[in-house]
Amino acid sequence: MSVDFDGTLMRNPYWSLHLKPWLLTQAGFGHKSWQKLWETMAEESEHRLRHRNFQGAYDWQDIASKTLHMSLPNPNPPRREDLIPLVYPDVWDFLLWATGKRLTLHIVTNGLIKNQWPYLRALGWDKIFTSWIGADSGFAKPDPRPFRLITGLSAHIGDRLAHDVLGAKRASILAVHLKRPGNQEDKRGWDALSPSFCQADLTVKSLQELPERLTQVLPTIQHEGQVGYERYSHRWQTLRP
């Protein structure tokens, strides 16, 4: 089973702890507001997406350098206590359930892993997830190819219809839409050949609903995967906040 990162497991830590603070600092040095600086970067990202440059579209260092002529550093190793408030509260029980079922968990994100890795590591999730696939792979959701890099994948859970659901449907795996109350759904699809709206196989409002709902539609999920639990169960208690 694969899981999206930003908006599904956490509120984007790269944005909250690194990119936005950096934009605020840069705005303090110059005449432009941080919003204007961000607008310029976001426009370039959208331009790259439209030209199917998926890796470049999420490479904020390169975008900052090309559009703002500024050097955006790598994120500093984050402190766990700064990250915990960004993790959705239902994530911990979900991870406990999945590791207890010995499910193999993967992350499929459109962010670059080099930007996500410090956060995954600080949370101890590098011990929970078997693999991490980001736009560094050269593919980004809703392209089905990031999912096809994982053998035997049966389901993907994510918060965006145009990325997570559409990509999972195209990869012929169960598409689970996590529709958190209050989260704005961005229905724009970047792929001109796709509908911008896609019907999920399963919609849940919280990860709490997932164990029961998933087991109903996918009984074999209980037997999926071999990785993880024995190796990491002793570490589990230290992972929970």
Q: What is the number of other CB atoms lying within 10 angstroms of the CB of residue 212?
A: 10
Specify the residue, 159 or 191, whose C-beta has the smaller distance to Mg ion.
Answer: 159
Q: Which residue is nearest to Mg ion (CB)?
A: 7
Listed ranges 57-65, 73-81, 145-153, 155-163: which one lies at the site for Mg ion (CB under 5 A) = 155-163
Q: Which of residues 76-95 bind Mg ion (CB under 5 A)?
A: none
175 binds Mg ion (CB under 5 A): no
Q: What percent of the chain is helix, strand and coil (3-state, nearest 5)? A: 50, 10, 40
Q: Which helix (H) or strand (E) holds 164?
A: none
Tell me whether strands 155-158 and 131-133 are parallel, antiparallel or unpaired: unpaired
Specify the residue, 6 or 59, whose C-beta has the smaller distance to Mg ion.
Answer: 6
Instruction: Please write down the HEC assignment for all residues of 68-99.
Output: HCCCCCCCCCCCHHHHHHHECCCHHHHHHHHH
135 binds Mg ion (CB under 5 A): no
Smallest distance, Å, CB 177 to Mg ion? 11
Cβ(145)–Cβ(41) below 8 Å = no
159 binds Mg ion (CB under 5 A): yes
Residue 177 CB partners (closer than 8 Å, separation 6+) = 158, 159, 161, 164, 165, 200, 202, 203, 204
Residues found in the chain = 241
Smallest distance, Å, CB 140 to Mg ion? 12
Among 2, 3, 6, 133, binds Mg ion (CB under 5 A): 6
59 binds Mg ion (CB under 5 A): no
Smallest distance, Å, CB 158 to Mg ion? 6
Identify the three-state secondary structure at position 4.
coil
Specify the residue, 8 or 104, whose C-beta has the smaller distance to Mg ion.
Answer: 8
4 binds Mg ion (CB under 5 A): yes
Among 1, 2, 3, 7, binds Mg ion (CB under 5 A): 7
Specify the residue, 162 or 218, whose C-beta has the smaller distance to Mg ion.
Answer: 162
Q: Which residues bind Mg ion (CB under 5 A)?
A: 4, 6-7, 159
